[in-house]
Amino acid sequence: MSTWRNEEWQSGDPAMDTEHQKLHQMASSMTAVVMNDPGLGLATEAVDVLRERMRLHFRMEEQALARTDPESASILKEDHARLLLLLGRVRDALADGGIEDCKHLLTEFNTAMDKHDREVDIPLFRMQNKGKRDPLAS
């Protein structure tokens, strides 16, 4: 989850890196709330808030890429839909009251988010930002 703080994994666009740090802070907060849910319904609300925030984040990324690389934007969109599905499963497990299932699904979601950042977001936005810095770069 600390991917975006690691210099090795920065995208080349400070605004994009800051946006990811904020999103990851929210995901960490949601994880803490779910792991410590005393049964007050706070966990479900935390998941819903993150889900809406993720939708906005994903839309921003897809629009940013669609302008310069529509083919990659569709790959991005597909992986985003998968992440939302994984978070939806966490919410379903919460609704069913299966806390152990929920914790397992939450770990799966966080691992998938990290993998998405390392293998999809960062390479794509790095490529896009490289193009912005030098229009003649291949």
Shortest distance (Å) from residue 105 CB to Fe ion: 20
Asked if 121 touches Fe ion (CB under 5 A), the answer is yes
Alpha-carbon gap, residue 10 to 4, rounded angstroms: 6
- Smallest separation, CB 16 to Fe ion (Å): 8
121 neighbors 20 (Cβ within 8 angstroms): yes
User: CB-wise, 24 or 91, nearer to Fe ion?
Assistant: 24
- The nearest distance, CB 41 to Fe ion, in angstroms, is 28
Between 65 and 90, name the residue whose CB sits nearer to Fe ion: 65
Q: How far apart are CA 78 and CA 123, in angstroms?
A: 16
Looking at beta carbons only, is 64 or 99 nearer to Fe ion? Answer: 64
Report how far residue 76's alpha carbon sits from residue 63's, in angstroms, rounded to the nearest whole number: 10
Residue numbers 81-120 binding Fe ion by CB under 5 A:
none
Residue 84 makes CB contacts below 8 A (sequence gap 6+) with: 51, 54, 55, 58
- Name which of residues 24 to 63 contact Fe ion (CB under 5 A): 61
